[in-house]
Amino acid sequence: MDAMRTLTVNLGARSYPIHLGEGLLPRAGDLIRQAGCGEKVGIVTNPSVAALYLGAVEGSLRRSGFHVVTIVVPEGEEHKNLGSLAMIYDRLIAERFDRGSWVVALGGGVIGDVAGFAAATFLRGIPYIQVPTTLLAQVDSSVGGKTGINHLEGKNLIGAFYQPRLVIIDVDALCTLPKRELVAGLAEVIKYGVIADPRLFGLLEEKLDRVLALDRKLLLEIVAASCAIKAGVVEQDEREDDYRSVLNFGHSVGHALEALTGYAELLHGEAVAIGMVQAATISARQGLCDEKSLRRICAVIEKSGLPTEIPVNVDLKELVRGMEVDKKSVGGKIKFVLCRGIGVTEFRWFSLEEIAAQLAA
Ligand SMILES: NC(=O)c1ccc[n+]([C@@H]2O[C@H](COP(=O)([O-])OP(=O)(O)OC[C@H]3O[C@@H](n4cnc5c(N)ncnc54)[C@H](O)[C@@H]3O)[C@@H](O)[C@H]2O)c1
Ligand SMILES: [Zn+2]
């Protein structure tokens, strides 16, 4: 049997394990049984992920004696909406799910967010398990309990903090991920290196080629390091009152870029990569980040195949306005996460004029 390692997100009564390894999807039944799951389980997934992994997960759950219901919602960010949520509720009600029944989110961040929110709200909350299959979901969205859906007016406008009972991360799933999605997920891993872990950052610098070639041991190492950092931040500030926003390094510019380009041109990680270059550059100008660290950050982003420049068709004034409407602005000032070299961060508040001047420089 493949080795498995386990991290814990320590949140008192809401603590939960993150199991990481290779070959874990076919063992999901056992792992979920050990977590104390009731007899009825609803697996929420989408058609692409279902074609690849539903058979293994469903088979494993059935072999472990669970009554399994599969709920396949349409694919894509545009379906992280009320329609998919309603579809999940309808099935859970039709199948007579009760408070002892559990939900399993099998897929990327879209599935994790919508299935998590369904679990958070159905019967005022039933337990759920994250089984993330994209790199972004494995290192970011499956840990920390942010769940929700989009509204036509904006992303993630409706949601809840609701922690899963268990996270099962099988790095084997990353082998079928389109390269562009893998690389986009890598942006978040680079982010963890910059904000908290010089060792992880060094590993990426040194062994990026092997990561991109899907070396399982390395993937496991970078995913585990990322989850450990995310867990540590969430343990300190579960509901993002303050410190959790350290995870937004590169995201002020990134979110605004995504919105401005209609969520079509850039994947989230790509927008964040550009945002990280901006944040690191501003950090250097503020005298916080030394030139060598700045060069290293830009180099690893570029070497990953991620974009580093704000697209030429983006108007800087609109970009700054986009940052103002983001959830993180207060009284016209924007909280920016800057870096002191690699591994340490600092918050600074900037007015819109100051940001505009920085981006134009
Ligand atoms: N809750 C949080 O804390 C949090 C954090 C970051 C992002 N998010 C959310 O996550 C979403 C983005 O997640 P994502 O980047 O995982 O995108 P995604 O869920 O849309 O997945 C990307 C694509 O990859 C496919 N896919 C998934 N796993 C696959 C696999 N193993 N092999 C082949 N194809 C696979 C999916 O079907 C989809 O087409 C956004 O909605 C974002 O708001 C949430
Ligand atoms: Zn992100």
Q: Which ligand is nearest to the CA of 187?
A: 2
CATH architecture of the domain 181-360 equals Up-down Bundle (1.20)
Please tell me the distance between residue 170's alpha carbon and the centre of ligand 1 in angstroms.
15
The domain spans of the chain are 4-176, 181-360
Question: How many angstroms separate the CA atoms of 13 and 281, rounded?
Answer: 41
The pair of three-digit structure tokens given for residue 172, joined into one six-digit string = 């084997």
The catalytic residue among 46, 244, 258, 270 is 244
Q: pLDDT tens digits, residue range 203-217?
A: 999 999 999 999 999
Please tell me the distance between residue 97's alpha carbon and the centre of ligand 2 in angstroms.
33
> DSSP letters of 69-117?
EEEEPPPSGGGSSHHHHHHHHHHHHHTT--TT-EEEEEESHHHHHHHHH
The atom of ligand 1 lying closest to the CA of 47 is: 37
The pair of three-digit structure tokens given for residue 15, joined into one six-digit string = 């603590």
User: Is the entire prediction scored with pTM above 0.75?
Assistant: yes
The pair of three-digit structure tokens given for residue 155, joined into one six-digit string = 């992303």
Beta strands in the chain (DSSP E): 4-9, 16-21, 40-45, 67-72, 102-107, 128-132, 146-151, 154-161, 166-170, 329-330, 333-339, 345-351
Regarding the beta carbon of 156 and ligand 1, being less than 6 Å apart is answered: yes
Q: Which amino acid is at 306?
A: L
Per-residue pLDDT of the chain (361 residues; tens, 9 = 90+): 568 999 999 999 999 999 999 999 999 999 999 999 999 999 999 999 999 999 999 999 999 999 999 999 999 999 999 999 999 999 999 999 999 999 999 999 999 999 999 999 999 999 999 999 999 999 999 999 999 999 988 899 999 999 999 999 999 999 999 999 999 999 999 999 999 999 999 999 999 999 999 999 999 999 999 999 999 999 999 999 999 999 999 999 999 999 998 888 999 999 999 999 999 999 999 999 999 999 999 999 999 999 999 999 999 999 998 888 766 677 888 889 999 999 999 999 999 899 999 887 7
Res 329: pLDDT:
72
Res 30: pLDDT:
97
Res 326: pLDDT:
67
Q: pLDDT tens digits, residue range 290-323?
A: 999 999 999 999 999 999 999 999 999 999 988 8
Please tell me the distance between residue 92's alpha carbon and the centre of ligand 1 in angstroms.
23
CATH ID of 4-176, from 3.90.580.10, 3.40.50.2030, 3.30.70.100, 3.40.50.1970: 3.40.50.1970
CA-nearest of 238, 305, 219 to 269 is 305
Res 168: pLDDT:
98
Question: How many angstroms separate the CA atoms of 192 and 342, rounded?
Answer: 10
Task: Give long-range contacts, CB 8 A cutoff, 24+ apart: 11-18.
Answer: 11/163, 11/234, 11/235, 11/238, 14/145, 14/163, 16/163, 16/164, 16/165, 16/166, 16/167, 17/166, 17/167, 18/143, 18/166, 18/167, 18/169, 18/227, 18/231
**SS3 assignment, position 60:** helix
Q: Which ligand is nearest to the CA of 171?
A: 1
Q: Are 4-176 and 181-360 equal in CATH topology?
A: no
Query: Packing angle between helix 179-196 and helix 198-212, nearest 10 degrees?
Result: 160
**SS3 assignment, position 38:** coil
Question: How many angstroms separate the CA atoms of 268 and 266, rounded?
Answer: 6
- Give, for ligand 1, the residue of 18, 72, 85, 136 to mutate: max count of ligand atoms closer than 8 Å to Cβ: 136
Handedness of CA 330, 353, 250, 81 (dihedral sign): positive
